[in-house]
């Protein structure tokens, strides 16, 4: 029966496409796994030589007999290797977080205290640019989070706000309890061009205006920040601020004991 043959043909073609799609999905997963493994391995292999370079350059810099030129060279080695070490640390963090290998140890914490400590640590950088930094948070703000990781999240957001806000601007950290703990880091800085917000949390992504202005960065901080927030069962988003600049909002589970 030609109808049955047609039907069989159709079914075979459909099955064939289905299997091709499955195969493509499997290959994509395998590729992602190999890529992560490679990033992890390369960063590990870079870590040890880098710490050796750093500790030797520090030793060199301690030598009072250095000439001006030698000191200058040793300083360049120190600065560049420090930058590279941060990059490698970020890559390792990200690889671990994405592979679910980073241990997150959530405990009841005072979010308000962590916010104040973070802001305090960024004050010198903010003052150097005459930025007004304000914290608006209730004293009682119990969050369920890993202290080291939450600190990293806050550091990233506040240091970005400081970095991407020109002289004389303002950075405001607001926090409140709405069932969850909601933390907002707002600034009056350069903002993010329309259409680029959804890519901010992709690794290595840097917005076109940040690149154009020549602000230094790797595009890894927000990817790490998001991975940490996700690992806490939380949520992070970015939006344009009311007048100018940007606002980053983090939602984390409150602690109820």
Contact positions vs ligand ADP (CB under 6 A): 156, 160-161, 164, 187, 189-192, 200, 205-207, 210, 217-223, 246
CB closest to ligand ADP, residue no = 217
CB of 187 to ligand ADP, least distance (A): 5
CB of 46 to ligand ADP, least distance (A): 18
CB of 243 to ligand ADP, least distance (A): 14
Nearer to ligand ADP, 240 or 253 (CB): 240
Radius of gyration of the chain (CA): 24
CB of 216 to ligand ADP, least distance (A): 7
CB of 219 to ligand ADP, least distance (A): 4
CB of 87 to ligand ADP, least distance (A): 10
CB of 255 to ligand ADP, least distance (A): 27
Nearer to ligand ADP, 175 or 254 (CB): 175
Nearer to ligand ADP, 59 or 134 (CB): 134
The whole-angstrom separation of Cα 67 and Cα 59 is 15
The whole-angstrom separation of Cα 122 and Cα 205 is 24
What is the 8-class DSSP label of residue 207? -
Strand partners, 128: none
Strand partners, 132: 170
Nearer to ligand ADP, 72 or 83 (CB): 83
Nearer to ligand ADP, 93 or 109 (CB): 93
Q: Which residues contact 81 (CB under 8 A, 6 or more apart)?
A: 50, 53, 54, 57
Nearer to ligand ADP, 57 or 225 (CB): 225
Nearer to ligand ADP, 64 or 195 (CB): 195
Question: Angle 147-163/221-231 helices, nearest 10 degrees?
Answer: 150
């Amino acid at each position: 029966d030609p109808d049955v043959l047609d039907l069989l043909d159709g079914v075979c073609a459909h099955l064939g496409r289905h299997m091709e799609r499955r195969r493509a999905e499997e290959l994509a997963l395998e590729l992602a796994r190999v890529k992560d493994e490679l990033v992890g391995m390369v960063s590990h292999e870079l870590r040890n030589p880098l710490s050796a370079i750093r500790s030797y350059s520090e030793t060199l810099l301690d030598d009072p007999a250095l000439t001006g030129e030698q000191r200058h060279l040793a300083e360049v080695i120190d600065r560049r290797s420090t930058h590279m070490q941060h990059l490698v640390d970020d890559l390792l963090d990200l690889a671990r977080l994405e592979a679910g290998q980073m241990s997150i140890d959530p405990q009841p914490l005072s979010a308000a205290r962590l916010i104040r400590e973070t802001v305090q640590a960024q004050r010198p950088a903010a003052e150097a640019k005459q930025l007004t930094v304000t914290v608006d948070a209730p004293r009682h703000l119990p969050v369920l989070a890993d202290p080291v990781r939450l600190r990293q999240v806050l550091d990233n957001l506040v240091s970005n706000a400081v970095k991407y806000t020109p002289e004389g601007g303002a950075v405001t950290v607001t926090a409140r309890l709405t069932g969850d703990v909601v933390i907002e880091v707002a600034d009056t800085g350069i903002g993010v061009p329309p259409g680029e917000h959804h890519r901010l949390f992709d690794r290595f992504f840097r917005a076109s205006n940040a690149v154009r202005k020549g602000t230094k960065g790797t595009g890894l901080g927000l990817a790490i920040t998001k991975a940490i927030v996700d690992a806490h069962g939380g949520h992070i988003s970015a939006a344009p601020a009311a007048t100018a600049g940007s606002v980053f909002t983090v939602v984390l589970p409150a602690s109820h004991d």
